[in-house]
Structure 1
């Protein structure tokens, strides 16, 4: 069931809920450029890719928006399709590990980025758990640069595990890891409530 703004999780800095990513694609790419270090040329290429992805059946997008309307972060994804470019690149790596079945009946996190000034506040966690909670697929997959990073630590804390490493995408200067998790994603352990 899709999340509506009234029942979306809140962080102290931003409200997580559905966004019209077509209308806010430039805002989203500005966040991605800062968070991921994109050049103007890369932003131009990704602009067309994002708009094309948003036309795929089942594609969903959420944003974290400040009270002033600033986009602090966003996530979007879609049901995985083996015919999509991303799947055709990662499939041989997953097959080599005996894990290419993860490409079926999975929700792919295509992009997840938080503006650097809003990072380490739980916004990325809110975005990815909210989007995956609303999908019918039993698992989720994604790719991340294959280094130890805050993003990889976040994904592991949510239950994602490495399915394939040293995955090389054409034109990407660094290798990636493909990660997968069963849904729902793992939640942070809650501290015990003291009784009076």
Structure 2
């Protein structure tokens, strides 16, 4: 059951962070992303195919945050970065201009990280991303986030991520993004 407006989310320690069979639970994960990121039904349909393609990448891993009754309230997934993948080809010119294109090599990419709004600000996103990156063989991590001062960007900075390129434009994205990078393991505070 989802907490309604004004209702407190369960204690973050009641949430289990564990490996997620994202292929089997892709629709649940995309429902979380749609609520957290404000996606339309059309955007969700496009992202479903993208997630399935990403899961075929070598080293792709996903974690889910679930309530005691097994309800998915957050998820993260990522993979070792591949310079030939679409995301890398889009961000590479921006990183090169900033002198940071070396970050595309030997990095673990956080592809998506989303937590339902009612469960945000309880440490769940931090637990998801740190648990995922703790298992990475790569010495650093990269990600992209909407280029605004948001709670997500503040979290990434606390974990050690720094801006590598700003005002990155993805085709069909309505706003610019920032590419951020951090050395692993991520900072704990």
Q: Deviations over 1:84-118 (max 9, x none)?
A: 00000000000001110000000000000001111
Instruction: Tell me by how many angstroms 1:11 deviates.
Output: 3.4
Q: Any stretches of 5+ residues in structure 1 without a counterpart?
A: 1-9, 189-196
Partner of 2:72: 71
Q: Distance in 1 between matches of 2:139 and 2:76?
A: 19
Residues in 2 aligned to 1:22 and 1:13: alpha-carbon distance in whole angstroms: 25
Matches within 5 A, 1:106-121: 106-121=107-122
Gaps of 5+ in 2: 1-10
Residue 97 of structure 2 corresponds to 96
- Please show how residues 149-164 of structure 1 align to structure 2 within 5 Å: 149-164=150-165
Q: CA deviation at 1:26?
A: 0.3
Q: 1:123 maps to which residue?
A: 124
- Equivalent residue of 2:14, what SS? coil
Q: 1:163 is paired with a residue of what secondary structure? A: strand
Q: Which residue of 2 aligns with 1:57?
A: 58
RMSD: 0.9
Q: How does 1:1-196 map to 2 (within 5 A)?
A: 11-188=12-189
Query: Which one has a bigger Cα radius of gyration?
Result: 1
Q: CA deviation digits over 1:12-50, x for unaligned, max 9? A: 231001010000000000000000000000000000100
Q: Detail structure 1 runs of 4+ shifted over 4 Å in the superposition.
A: none
Normalised by the length of structure 2, the TM-score is 0.93
Alignment length (residue pairs): 179
> TM-score by structure 1 length?
0.90
How far apart are the structure 2 equivalents of 1:64 and 1:11?
10
